[in-house]
């Protein structure tokens, strides 16, 4: 792609945050010919082993894959990812039952967060237009003058840039500066539930202790546990529960009896000692949902990824949505660069990106909240399974116009706000389908029973009498 190249004395662009979204955004800009400085507050995660991420593996789906494909990283990313074709539900009695994600056999992918970030940083480093600046923590920004102040090991450093991309996560410093600068609406909500990561080793034969090509779920109404496979035959488990339940588990005995009561089939697979060690060693993380509007400040700054829209992780869409931001921004840039190159294009692209994208940020926040209830509770219900089967039938019959909600989110690039609208329309259709099928079923059963009663009450002589009468 072309049309970028910084003007105005070749001032570089700044991408703040070298996480999954920032490193990808730097690649997109570099491809268009812009010179980019990528600032990351931590040291280089490819060299240090002190890195502690917020979760070990993530579910990568279509939106993220599309964004990676455009910069030539999809194939390598998938080479270390594991396909998950559906959910595997673990009942209290240890029974497992699978639910396919898609009637067409499509998969989402369990991918190592650290490896994916390393891949993106390697690609960024290999690009001549990108300079990586680790241990550069943004302290403040004068957005009018486009001057950013960083703290690095030598002290404080001021850098002049042509445009700033805020990819510095949920607690974004760039966003904080934007909020002080102009009318940026902002809201955040912590949910009552936290999460804790646990680990399931391979079984005694060195194989996966559970079928690997599924996202495993232990739905328990008020809380749930999930497990995603890793390439080394292990699983990373995440326990989501209200903080008050976490707080109630104080001793080894509390923990083991809690697991015995709610997740009995997992104890042997995790190992009692390992469970105790991980549970009391690993921190309990909190989950926040952040919305803001707009995502940009004219001719100077734009927000992408969690900095613009952090969501609770129950749809597995935070990273996917953030990566799609990069793709959407690039599409906006493509539209404006047709009329020439330069920094002013970035301002126009940022404006149209913000206008297109903020509704989607809000929509995926709502969908993610909704999916927590679906995962921890609905997946167990008969009505849910009936609706899911009807969804699949309608999808089979009307492939173009009816796409189940999960498929729209995970396997298409239909804008999230459009997904909600379509899903509401489809719900009405499914309800009608269920109503009509119910009426036909009840009518059919009623008719059948009436016929049976009639037949059983008529003796042979009555049949002969009836036959004679009729003829
Ligand atoms: P971050 O990953 O937070 O990266 C921001 C970067 O900016 C970091 O490297 C940070 O060090 C740096 N930074 C911060 N402040 C500064 C500063 N002042 N100066 C310089 N650098 C700075 N998403 C999915 O799509 N699928 C999943 O399955 C999934 N599972 C999840 C499970 C859990 C438990 C959680 C908590 C989240 C999950 N997510 C998932 C969401 C996903 O982790 C995030 O959406 C994604 O990491 C956002 O990427 P980002 O680059 O925008 O932000």
Distance (Å) from CA 224 to ligand 1 centroid: 22
Using CA atoms, how far apart are residues 26 and 38, in angstroms rounded to an integer? 7
Tokens of 81: 């990812």
Instruction: Write out residues with Cβ below 6 Å of ligand 1.
Output: 16-22, 39-42, 54-55, 58-59, 137-138, 167-169, 173, 195, 238, 305-306, 313, 316-320, 322
Tokens of 52: 């502690």
Residue nearest (by alpha carbon) to ligand 1 atom 9: 19
Residue 196 in contact with residue 282, Cβ under 8 Å? yes
Distance of CA 244 to the CA centre of its chain: 26
What is the structure's pLDDT at 1?
46
Position with higher pLDDT, 140 vs 299: 140
Distance (Å) from CA 20 to ligand 1 centroid: 7
| Phi, psi angles (nearest 5°) of residue 266 | -90, -20
Distance (Å) from CA 93 to ligand 1 centroid: 36
Residue nearest (by alpha carbon) to ligand 1 atom 37: 313
Mutate to test the pocket of ligand 1, among 14, 15, 20 (most ligand atoms within 8 A of CB): 20
Instruction: Give the bridge partners for 256, in sequence order.
Output: none
Summarize pLDDT for 12-42 with one digit per residue, the tens. 999 999 999 999 999 999 999 999 999 999 9
Using CA atoms, how far apart are residues 410 and 368, in angstroms rounded to an integer? 12
Distance (Å) from CA 22 to ligand 1 centroid: 10
Summarize pLDDT for 163-214 with one digit per residue, the tens. 999 999 999 999 999 998 878 999 999 999 999 999 999 999 999 999 999 9
What is the structure's pLDDT at 54?
46
Using CA atoms, how far apart are residues 453 and 326, in angstroms rounded to an integer? 68
Residue nearest (by alpha carbon) to ligand 1 atom 18: 138
Q: DSSP for 150-195, please give it.
A: EEETTEEEEEE-S-EEE---TT-HHHHHHHHHS--EEEEEEEEEEE
Summarize pLDDT for 60-87 with one digit per residue, the tens. 999 999 999 999 999 999 999 999 999 9
Position with higher pLDDT, 50 vs 380: 380
What is the structure's pLDDT at 169?
98
Distance (Å) from CA 174 to ligand 1 centroid: 15
Helix, strand, coil % (nearest 5) of the chain? 45, 25, 30
């Amino acid at each position: 792609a072309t049309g970028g190249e910084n003007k105005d004395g070749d001032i570089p662009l700044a991408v703040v945050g070298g996480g999954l979204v920032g490193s990808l955004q730097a690649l997109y800009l570099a491809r268009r010919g812009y010179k980019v400085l990528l600032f990351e507050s931590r040291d280089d995660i490819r060299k240090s082993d002190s890195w502690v991420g917020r979760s070990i593996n993530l579910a990568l789906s279509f939106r993220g894959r599309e964004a990676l494909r455009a910069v030539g990283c999809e194939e390598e990313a998938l080479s270390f990812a594991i396909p998950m074709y559906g959910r595997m539900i673990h009942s209290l009695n240890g029974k497992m039952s699978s639910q396919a994600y898609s009637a067409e056999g499509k998969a989402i992918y369990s991918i190592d967060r650290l490896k994916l970030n390393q891949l993106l940083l390697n690609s960024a480093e290999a690009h001549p237009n990108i300079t990586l600046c680790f241990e550069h923590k943004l302290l403040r920004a004068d957005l009018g003058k486009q001057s950013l102040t960083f703290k690095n090991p030598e002290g404080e450093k001021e850098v002049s840039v042509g445009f700033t991309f805020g990819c510095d996560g949920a607690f974004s410093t760039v966003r904080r500066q934007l909020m002080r600068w102009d009318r940026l609406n902002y809201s955040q909500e912590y949910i009552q539930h936290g999460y804790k990561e646990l680990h399931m080793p391979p079984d005694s034969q060195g194989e996966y202790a559970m079928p690997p090509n599924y996202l495993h779920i232990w739905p328990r109404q008020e809380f749930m546990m999930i497990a995603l496979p890793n390439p080394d035959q292990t699983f990373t488990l995440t326990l989501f529960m209200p903080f008050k339940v976490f707080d109630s588990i104080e001793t080894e005995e509390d923990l083991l009896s809690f697991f015995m009561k709610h997740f009995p089939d997992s104890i042997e697979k995790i190992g009692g000692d390992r469970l105790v060690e991980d549970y009391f060693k690993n921190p309990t993380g909190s989950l926040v949902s952040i919305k803001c509007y707009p995502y940009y400040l004219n001719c100077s700054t734009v927000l992408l990824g969690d900095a613009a829209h952090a969501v609770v992780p129950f749809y597995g869409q935070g990273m996917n949505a953030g990566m799609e931001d990069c793709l959407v921004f690039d599409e906006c840039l493509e539209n404006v660069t047709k009329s020439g190159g330069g920094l002013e294009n970035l301002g126009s692209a940022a404006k149209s990106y913000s206008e297109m994208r903020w509704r989607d940020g809000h929509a995926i926040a709502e969908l993610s909240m909704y999916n927590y209830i679906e995962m921890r509770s609905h997946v167990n219900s008969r009505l849910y399974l009936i609706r899911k089967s009807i969804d699949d039938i309608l999808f089979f019959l009307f492939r173009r116009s009816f796409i189940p909600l999960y498929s729209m989110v995970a396997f298409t690039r239909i804008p999230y706000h459009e997904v909600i609208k379509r899903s509401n329309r489809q719900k009405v259709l499914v309800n009608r389908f269920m109503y009509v099928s119910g009426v036909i079923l009840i009518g059919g059963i009623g008719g059948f029973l009436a016929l049976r009663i009639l037949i059983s009450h008529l003796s042979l002589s009555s049949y002969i009498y009836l036959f004679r009468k009729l003829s």
